[in-house]
Amino acid sequence: MSEIRVLLADDQALVRGALAALLDLESDLTVVAQVGEGTAVVDAARARGVDVCLLDIEMPGASGIEAAAALAAELPQVRSLIVTTFGRPGYLRRAVQAGASGFVVKDTPAAELADAVRRVHAGLRVFDPTLATESLTTGDSPLTDREQEVLLAALGGATVAAIAADVHLSPGTVRNYLSSAMGKTGAGTRAQAATVARMRGWI
């Protein structure tokens, strides 16, 4: 059985260490690289001759979804598998669109995770079945790119003026985007709209 070379990308060192320890128990899997930032994934994968990258979603520099897209563009022979705490249907859809070959949650049993790595390496796709069903039910994000951008800026409770400065738009334009996003999410305030969008994995 040939060796499958694995990269782990997670901003929590304890999580990386635990995943590495579990995967290294498998005779055909070898963790050859660990990184804590999404922006380090492509260079580390290239330098270490990686076959499969396990990517967390929320990381400094670039998200796991952005890292998956970069891998697909620059190292198409390297497979990516999202392994995250955030089991949100919208994240799964965005991961697939970015080129990820799989999406599982962190409480997946070790044997199943190892099998997911093998299947992704073999060119198959592996997705959490519950999330896949929810993703089909909830459908694509109704938000435009600009609406996503202003909602992301609104997550921390920023004022319209601060959001406008952050995304380089006028306050009036930001209000329009926020109003539209509130309508699409069924929320009464911009903070609620941002929370709903985050929970569904749209931002």
Q: What is the 3-state secondary structure (H, E, C) of 37-63?
A: CHHHHHHHHHHHCCCEEEECCCCCCCC
Q: Is 85 helix (H, G, I), strand (E, B) or coil?
A: coil
pLDDT at res. 31: 97
What pLDDT is recorded for position 139?
A: 59
Asked whether residue 164 falls in the same domain as residue 122, the answer is no
- Of the candidates 137, 157, 174, which is a domain's last residue? 137
Listed as ranges, residues in the chain with pLDDT below 50 are none
31 vs 156: CA distance, rounded Å: 36
Please give the structure tokens belonging to residue 146: 């600009």
Same-domain pairing of 86 and 133 = yes
| Per-residue DSSP letter, 140 | S
Asked if 188 and 98 sit in the same domain, the reply is: no
Look-up of token digits 């459908």: 139
Other CB atoms within 10 Å distance of the CB of residue 123: 8
**Rounded Cα gap, residues 20 and 6, in angstroms:** 9
Residue type, 119: R
Q: What is the CATH number of the domain that holds 169?
A: 1.10.10.10
Q: How many domains does the chain have?
A: 2
pLDDT at residue 198 in the model: 82
Per-residue pLDDT at 1:
60
Asked if residue 1 lies in contact with residue 26, where contact means CB atoms within 8 angstroms, the answer is no
Q: Are residues 92 and 153 in the same domain?
A: no
Residues 86 and 176 in one domain: no
What pLDDT sits at residue 136?
Answer: 58
Residue 79's pLDDT is 97
What residue numbers bound the domain in which 11 lies? Answer: 4-137
* pLDDT at 129 (0 to 100): 73
Token look-up 């990686």 returns: 50
Please indicate, yes or no, whether residues 75 and 43 belong to a single structural domain of this protein.
Answer: yes
Same-domain check for residues 106 and 165 = no
